[in-house]
Structure 1
């Protein structure tokens, strides 16, 4: 035990002595370094703030041109009005994200992008919804090429769209729900009608009646065309032949109704004295 105490005394005795003043000096130096670092950070921040103010208030970056790309239905003036950006605004002070949100609030705009064109330009690129038809669901709504309702129809919307009757809200694709066969058939016919060479272009269709039992009936060219369900490309080929025979006066010169439900047995009602179709089925082409 005595030997252990003596060993401990020698250990502490051999430790180097650190002056008290050295510890104080180290702390002072450390504090000075912290203060210097804070001063540098503050100075850099002030320079950045001053530089930002100079840039966002400089006449050099004033908006002289606001270019709109991708608009077909909306006018350039309507799109620019939605942005709230005015000529003379500093383009660096404009919140591009906020401008995009304003654009997306317009029911016609499906996608939007806003970019700066240094030194004095703003470019607005939009993609509009492509309307395919008007759905009558108690109220009339516009349907786009993705099968989505994107707005309620108003008097200023395009008029040369097929009117669709017979569907219900439960037939539509909402919240990931499964699409009904009736709605799927409608979209197939409308997409066929988008093709330039289509025998039944959407611009010539006045009404599409959807029935859960008998399928689709299309009113176009003052005629009734019963398509039913499925095999629409084949039915369009047969319909093209029917029009060809009617045009060339083979067997019949005109018809009122053609039933294409069964491709093995196509039924045609010739029109000896073609009567005018009801007003709601008429359409200028």
Structure 2
């Protein structure tokens, strides 16, 4: 009698090969996805580059107008020269940030903004420093309305600014609380001189001498005006009365010097009289 032995098949023997084949296919699919993604990205980048080149070289966006706003001291031509933008330049190819930096390198400009006006315009907005005086600190520097030096004086700068002598670099500080008494006194006088009806307008002041002991002396209207320290609004009121008396020929017709250090004892020195009257005593008000 024949006997048939049943052999047990190993159903798991080929499974590792199937897993290995599946892993290769998955990696191949992943590789294809990466290649496809890179190809799409490269194609998109190429389209962007070609599009950018086309736009930035297109005659449609050529600069035809460069408008300047906010300038009072610098001319439009001076500001446009600072930008280095030329008529015909493509406005989309202009680096606005770089143009702003060029503008800020000019000592007169405190703030600058540059923008495009599609399709063919550039707008430049600037804010200039407001000069109050010229400080003589060995070299001459321009002082703005915030009490900061913003540039060294040059031959092309305005000439109708008061010249200030007697200060030192140590009197100035970016921190207002650390500024010296003489410097704060100077700023107060200059601020009063900016007012429209000031008795001592800055445009009429030739020079201001700063003395650490006796304070400020102002030279204006061919006269010497000793202000000292403190109480400047009250001193300006008294000075206005002195000018009124001189104009109307009351007590004196003109004066060379007025000392307002002590408001309770104002000393006036009249203009030098002819020889026989030269010894006329000083007037006190």
Q: TM-score, normalised by structure 1?
A: 0.86
Name the SS for the 1:269 alignment partner: strand
The range that moved more, 24-33 or 190-199, is: 24-33
Query: Which residue in 2 is equivalent to 1:269?
Result: 269
C-alpha displacement of 1:19: 4.1
Q: Is the 8 A contact 1:254 1:272 kept in 2?
A: no
Q: CA RMSD, aligned part only?
A: 2.2
1:58 paired with 2:58, answer yes
Q: Is the 8 A contact 1:115 1:122 kept in 2?
A: yes
Larger Rg: 2
Task: Encode CA deviations 1:190-231: one digit per residue, 9 max, x unaligned.
Answer: 111111111100000011010000000001111111110111
C-alpha displacement of 1:22: 2.3
C-alpha displacement of 1:271: 2.9
Query: Which residue in 2 is equivalent to 1:245?
Result: 245
Query: Which residue in 2 is equivalent to 1:71?
Result: 71
C-alpha separation in 2, matches of 1:107 and 1:272: 45
C-alpha separation in 2, matches of 1:176 and 1:272: 42
C-alpha separation in 1, matches of 2:84 and 2:272: 61
1:210 paired with 2:219, answer no
Query: Which residue in 2 is equivalent to 1:28?
Result: 28
In the TM superposition, structure 1's runs of 4+ consecutive aligned residues that sit over 6 Å from their partners are none
Task: Encode CA deviations 1:156-176: one digit per residue, 9 max, x unaligned.
Answer: 211111111111122122688
C-alpha separation in 2, matches of 1:97 and 1:186: 37
Query: Which residue in 2 is equivalent to 1:164?
Result: 164
Unaligned runs of at least 5 residues, structure 2: 1-11, 275-285
C-alpha separation in 1, matches of 2:250 and 2:177: 48
C-alpha separation in 1, matches of 2:53 and 2:205: 58
1:152 paired with 2:152, answer yes
Q: Is the 8 A contact 1:171 1:182 kept in 2?
A: yes
Name the SS for the 1:36 alignment partner: helix
Unaligned runs of at least 5 residues, structure 1: 1-11, 275-285
C-alpha separation in 1, matches of 2:131 and 2:154: 13
C-alpha separation in 1, matches of 2:74 and 2:19: 82
C-alpha separation in 1, matches of 2:176 and 2:196: 31
Q: Please give the residue correspondences for 1:1-285 in structure 2 after superposition, counting only pairs within 5 Å.
A: 19-173=19-173, 178-271=178-271, 273=273
C-alpha separation in 2, matches of 1:169 and 1:231: 25
C-alpha displacement of 1:265: 1.8
Q: TM-score, normalised by structure 2?
A: 0.86
Name the SS for the 1:140 alignment partner: strand
Flag the 1:17–1:155 CA change in 2: closer, same or farther, 3 A: closer
C-alpha displacement of 1:35: 1.4
